[in-house]
Amino acid sequence: MSDNNNEKTGLALSKENYILLAIGFGIILLGFILMLGGGSDDPNVFSEELFSFRRITLAPIVILLGFVFEIYAIMKKPKKENNELD
């Protein structure tokens, strides 16, 4: 009898994978938050702040890293427990 988390819960991934997926989602959300703002209150005035380093470079890199982390979270194999008594 195998004592695996996936067999106990019937889920496709282990609890650790779901926690890592939530962290990855948080990283992606942080990237989108970094992209916010930069607009002008007056539509007739152009704001150069729209093209700041944070919005043009940093935020897309953070989002991309979040997606890479999501792939890692899905592909990570759960640790095997050595508590099997047969």
Q: Compute mean pLDDT per 10 residues along the chain, 86 residues long, and list them.
A: 57 90 97 89 83 94 98 88 55
Q: What length is written for the chain?
A: 86
Q: Look up residue 77 and give its DSSP letter.
A: P
Residue 47 pLDDT: 81
Phi, psi of 23 (to 5 degrees): -65, -45
Residue 8 pLDDT: 62
Query: Phi/psi class of residue 83: alpha, beta or left (left: φ > 0; alpha: ψ in -120 to 50)?
Result: alpha
Residue 85 pLDDT: 54
Residue 7 pLDDT: 55
pTM value? 0.76
